[in-house]
Amino acid sequence: MGDADERPTHVRLELVKRGVFVCLRLRWSTAPENCQALVNLLPIRRQVWHAKYANNEIYLLCRAPEPKPAKESLTMYPSRGDLVFLPLPEGIPLPKGLPGIGPGDEALDIAYFYEAGTSLLGGPHGPLPGTIVATVENLDDIERMAEACRDVAFSGAVGEEMALDVI
């Protein structure tokens, strides 16, 4: 996908069990290496997790892409509707048995932020800036997904998967 006209413009994020999805515009102009890394990982479908420290975030964990994309369009304050690449520093404990992530592999947190007021400054491992790779364009879709994400937080993530694919 070298030519800009050949690059996909949108991805779809879905909470599979809940049947809720949003379409996000890829941010090629501000994060081209990270957008390409995301597109190369897709399609992906993994157990969804809900953040403890960033509050209004759901995410999936996968093996970090090689080569690592550059740090682009970094933020500590993602907005509602942002999809963010968060490479996890070595030493952060991960759940056992994650598919595709072996001992010594670097992990990537692909995070969707569903409410305002989220900060990546806190947590036991210090600040964790991420690259915004895509953003939801429709406000009604953001609210519909936020409702499903709040349900993940309050009802639980067991059996729920987060799926991402190019559209």
Tens of pLDDT, residue by residue over 6-52, are: 899 999 999 999 999 999 999 999 999 999 999 999 999 999 999 88
Residue 141 counted as domain residue: yes
CB burial class (10 A; 0-12, 13-18, 19+) of residue 29?
A: exposed
On the question of pLDDT at 2 being above 60, the answer is no
The CA distance from 54 to 116, in Å, is: 11
Most confident range (mean pLDDT) of 19-33, 55-69, 105-119, 126-140 is 19-33
The overall average pLDDT reported for the chain is 91
Report how many domains make up the chain. 1
Residue 154 counted as domain residue: yes
Least confident piece of the model among 78-92, 135-149, 151-165 = 78-92
CATH classification at residue 21: 2.40.100.20
Residue 18 counted as domain residue: yes
The CA distance from 85 to 22, in Å, is: 17
Residue 1 counted as domain residue: no
> What integer pLDDT is reported at residue 120 of this predicted model?
82
Pairing of strands 44-47, 161-166: antiparallel
Residue 81 counted as domain residue: yes
Residue 99 counted as domain residue: yes
Sorting pLDDT into bands at 50, 70 and 90, what band is 3?
Answer: low
* Cβ contact 146:136 at 8 Å: no
Residue 84 counted as domain residue: yes
Domain that holds residue 104: 8-166
- What percent of the chain has pLDDT above 70? 95
Q: What is the mean pLDDT of residues 153-157?
A: 95
- In tens, the pLDDT along 48-88 reads 999 887 789 999 999 999 999 999 989 999 999 999 999 98
Residue 122 counted as domain residue: yes
Q: In DSSP terms, which residues pair with 118 in a beta bridge? A: none
> What integer pLDDT is reported at residue 4 of this predicted model?
67
On the question of pLDDT at 123 being above 90, the answer is no
